[in-house]
Amino acid sequence: MNVVFFALVAVAFVVAAVRQVTWTPPSGAEDPVPPMEALGLGVVDSAESAVTLAIGLVGVMALFLGLMKVAEQGGLLRIVAKALRPLMVRLFPEVPATHPAMGAMILNLSANVLGLGNAATPFGIRAMQQLDRLNPQKGTASNAMVLFLALNTSSVTLLPTGVIALRASAGSADPAGIVPTTLFATICSTAVAILSAKLLQRYFVTPAPGSDEPAGEAGPEVADRPDGDPTQLPETTDKAEEDALPPEAGEAYPVWVSALVLASVAALIPLTVLYGRAIAPWIIPGLIVLLLGFGAAKRVRVYEEFVEGARDGFQVALRIIPYLVAILVAVGMLRESGALELLIEPLSRVTGLIGLPGEALPMALLRPLSGSGAYGVLASIIQDPAIGPDSYTGYLVSTFQGSTETTFYVLAVYFGAVQIRRIRHALAAGLCADIAGVIGAVAVVSWLYG
């Protein structure tokens, strides 16, 4: 993200400088603003709008994290984990069913399904550490590691709470309208992630311990720190702490129950495509009642847990202010300088033919690189009065954010945690999932809101 941030600023400055040198005041215009002066004003306006946006986000973020805290305390994470276990055992045949790696992966994916990103990351790193213990070739990603990372970059998402909160703060009349589109797009990306990881592993054979690595095996080196996203690595724990997983990590429903749950999720696809517009207005009121009712039925102190979760939401909203300021200023400079228009105009002539407008291109390109950067671009797009959150482009970029993952960030964090330097086909599988997510998002948003 360091390179991306500086490149955006530098390109904007150079383009504005060239326009300034060659600028002549337009005839008949009252008080024309020179390009470099417009660039400076754009920087100030972007910084102010970033803080305003974050403050407006506090209330909605607190609401959703409060609701998820109630559900989590009621055992919703445990229910999802028990439903996923039979499927996970079949997807990862090389991982023993009772190994701590299996439990950590189940909890990680369950948290991702529920939109609990803060809970998912520690479980994911723990899963990588446990998978590394099963890895005979240290420093080289195993098939299980690659598949697990591909699933992380494409995980099915039932509730993209962060994006819903951002859309609500931007004045959307239908902030939860992306729930059906996100579900469809993430199912597409997850299916492609599994297929690509399984198919590509045939061409990236893991060398036997002590043997030379075959040609074509080497992948790009992965840094052991994130690229600037606001999620931080947890502190290293000892073996006893790593093995200590919640009880739900080792439990499972009967296979028929898990099959029924998965079939129900699959059945949601045609329902969301056909009746997405009718369902969307019910989602937020229904979620509030259902999640609080679930907590009350489980005898959770719903008010106290809601307040505790809301407090976390308040902290999260404040913590993202520096990231929003950085990326909104960079994008604002790129827009005011005219550089963004120079880039988007030729590309949009091609992508516009498949339902991907030029305004959404920066989001699609930046999402695999940086979560915080993409979040800032999303905020700038839906805050633009000419676009707004409830336009076709607004729904599309919101679905991009909710249905694709920061592939390079996940590579850096998860593989860096266990010093994996040969990533084999992990990047290819993750990018295939990203592309599938974008295609799925364009297809479903075009159907519902095009």
Over residues 416-445, the pLDDT tens digits come to 778 888 888 888 998 898 889 889 999 999
With a cut of 90, say whether residue 192 has pLDDT above it: yes
Residue 207 has a pLDDT of 58
With a cut of 60, say whether residue 221 has pLDDT above it: no
Q: Which two tokens stand for residue 96?
A: 């023993």
Q: For all residues of the chain together, what is the average pLDDT?
A: 77
With a cut of 60, say whether residue 128 has pLDDT above it: yes
Task: Using CB atoms within 10 Å of the CB of residue 208, give its burial: 0 to 12 exposed, 13 to 18 middle, 19+ buried.
Answer: exposed
Return the amino acid letter for 119.
A
Count of residues making up the chain: 450
Residue 145 has a pLDDT of 92
With a cut of 60, say whether residue 319 has pLDDT above it: yes
β-bridge partners, 422 = 140
With a cut of 70, say whether residue 12 has pLDDT above it: yes
Task: Using CB atoms within 10 Å of the CB of residue 87, give its burial: 0 to 12 exposed, 13 to 18 middle, 19+ buried.
Answer: middle
Question: At a CB cut-off of 8 Å and minimum separation 6, what does 315 contact?
Answer: none
Residue 23 has a pLDDT of 82
pTM of the model: 0.65
Nearest Cα neighbor of 431 from 396, 398, 404, 400 is: 404
287 vs 172, more confident: 172
Residue 148 has a pLDDT of 92
Nearest Cα neighbor of 372 from 230, 164, 232, 233 is: 230
Residue 224 has a pLDDT of 36
pLDDT class of 404 with cuts at 50, 70, 90: low
Using CA atoms, how far residue 159 sits from 65, 164, 370, 403, 412, in Å, is 11, 9, 21, 10, 25
Residue 348 has a pLDDT of 78
pLDDT class of 200 with cuts at 50, 70, 90: very high
Rounded Cα distance between 99 and 96, Å, is 5
Q: Residue 140: phi, psi to the nearest 5?
A: -120, 130
64 vs 12, more confident: 12
53 vs 174, more confident: 174
Q: Which two tokens stand for residue 433?
A: 């999932």
Residue 74 has a pLDDT of 85
With a cut of 90, say whether residue 26 has pLDDT above it: no
Residue 371 has a pLDDT of 64
Rounded Cα distance between 198 and 201, Å, is 6
Rounded Cα distance between 42 and 434, Å, is 32
Map residue 390 onto helix, strand or coil: coil
Residue 369 has a pLDDT of 66
- What is the number of alpha carbons within 13 Å of residue 284 lying toward its C-beta? 17
Using CA atoms, how far residue 437 sits from 153, 324, 367, in Å, is 10, 24, 11
pLDDT class of 247 with cuts at 50, 70, 90: low
Residue 235 has a pLDDT of 38
Nearest Cα neighbor of 231 from 380, 422, 365, 409 is: 409
With a cut of 70, say whether residue 119 has pLDDT above it: no
Reading phi first (left if > 0) and then psi (alpha if -120 to 50, else beta), residue 34 is in: beta
Rounded Cα distance between 346 and 448, Å, is 27
pLDDT class of 13 with cuts at 50, 70, 90: very high
β-bridge partners, 310 = none
With a cut of 80, say whether residue 132 has pLDDT above it: yes
Nearest Cα neighbor of 83 from 264, 232, 231, 215 is: 264
